Structure 1
Amino acid sequence: MSAALLVIDAQASFPARPYWQDTDVPGWLDAQNRLIDAFAKQGKPVVRVLHVEDTGPFSLESGLVRPIDGLRAFDAALTIHKHAHSAFAGTPLAAWLLQRRIGRIVISGIRTEQCCETTTRDASDRGFQVDYVTEATLTFPMRHANGRLFSSAEIKERTELVLAGRFARICTVDTLAAA
């Protein structure tokens, strides 16, 4: 089955957000770039997904809706601007994939529990097979209303828990690169 890599919201808008932390960025960038390289080497399509809002750092006028520094340059087979959490909502992504008979998508990008997870669930509901590459997703610590601080690692673990076997297969970069 043909596959496409989605690079979701790996954009310069995020460092302008107050929750941005550089701590996990080097590891994420390494995994993200290795995944992009693997798809390019295999001749498989890579889709660039950029989140756009009307105002602020995610607005087109901000100049930040562009690849984040350190992300490997790649020729996107498709670039979409999304306005919702799912890369499928209100975009031509599903039709583009179906026209090319692509039945499997690989999820990577920024935010693990938000746009990456939402796109995964939506893709699964639309009938796509999904590989979720947790190490190639980035997120940040979050504080619950009860005061508990959840680390990035805990958020990623929870995301794997709720996706695995239901909406996606959890994969590593090395597993997909070897396939």
Structure 2
Amino acid sequence: MTHTRDALVLVDLQNAFFDEEGLAERQTEIVDAANRLIDAAHAAGLPIYMITTEHSRDESTWTLNMLEAGTGFLFQGDEGTQIVPGLKTTDTTKVEKTRDSAFFGTDLNMRFVNKRIGRIILAGVSTHGCVAQTTRDAFAHNIRATIVTDAVADTRDDYHRTQINQLEADRQATLATVDEIIARWQAEASRS
């Protein structure tokens, strides 16, 4: 089966992530960019995946740093795990994860295979963590990744720049802006 389609993948656009300095002031900008991508993906008939991080209170899903600190976070049902206000979620598929990569311990790759996804378009937070690890794991699954540079953010701009530059240099991702992605999807739709 040939992988031919794009999918929009929105990573960790949840309240708790935007409580952090460096991201709080970018929330409106990132939500607006994500909504433009969501509208364009809907218009192009492309699948949209809302990736969220949630943990169980019983420590069974905690990461090493959470276990070592004796403190968990992003518990199911907490306000922090909720999608940020204003983000369009209609007709999106939610996938919950417990690690940085959206592929680790989830059925995301199976979903992509079933939907013939050959490239993911990534938006969300944080660039150095969940966005970067999801990008690397997409590459490991032979799925191309494009990071939307004006729809991803990090707590520190130097983390952000270093990660996207490294992923591009390693040829694990291409970079594009929201406008470039929308233009590409519109051009592809007009050809079909």
* Structure-2-length-normalised TM-score: 0.80
Q: Gapped runs of 5+ residues in structure 1?
A: 142-151
1:11 aligns with 2:14: yes
Report the Cα distance in structure 1 between the residues aligned to 2:82 and 2:45, rounded to whole angstroms: 23
Structure 1 residues 1-179: aligned runs within 5 Å: 1-15=4-18, 17=19, 19=21, 21-55=23-57, 57-76=73-92, 78-141=93-156, 152=157, 154-165=158-169, 166-179=171-184
Deviations 1:21-61 (A, max 9, x none): 42222222221111111111111110011101234551113
Cα deviation, residue 19, structure 1: 4.0
Report the Cα distance in structure 1 between the residues aligned to 2:147 and 2:46, rounded to whole angstroms: 17
Counterpart amino acid of residue 37 in structure 2: L
Return the index of the structure with the highest Cα Rg. 2
Asked if the contact 2:10/2:123 (under 8 Å) is kept, the reply is yes
Report the Cα distance in structure 2 between the residues aligned to 1:57 and 1:97, rounded to whole angstroms: 29
Report the Cα distance in structure 1 between the residues aligned to 2:20 and 2:110, rounded to whole angstroms: 35
Report the Cα distance in structure 1 between the residues aligned to 2:91 and 2:84, rounded to whole angstroms: 15
Asked if the contact 2:23/2:153 (under 8 Å) is kept, the reply is no
Asked if the contact 1:48/1:80 (under 8 Å) is kept, the reply is yes
Counterpart amino acid of residue 4 in structure 1: A
Most deviating of 28-37 and 3-12: 28-37
Distance 1:97 1:18, change over 3 A: closer
Report the Cα distance in structure 2 between the residues aligned to 1:128 and 1:115, rounded to whole angstroms: 16
* Structure-1-length-normalised TM-score: 0.85
Greater per-residue helix proportion:
2
Counterpart amino acid of residue 169 in structure 1: T
Asked if the contact 1:12/1:66 (under 8 Å) is kept, the reply is yes
Report the Cα distance in structure 1 between the residues aligned to 2:34 and 2:51, rounded to whole angstroms: 14
Q: Provide the aligned length of Structure 1 versus Structure 2.
A: 166
Asked if the contact 1:112/1:134 (under 8 Å) is kept, the reply is no
Give the alignment's Cα RMSD to 1 decimal: 1.7
Q: Gapped runs of 5+ residues in structure 2?
A: 58-71, 185-192
Asked if the contact 1:13/1:57 (under 8 Å) is kept, the reply is no
Deviations 1:107-149 (A, max 9, x none): 11111111001000010111001111121112113xxxxxxxx
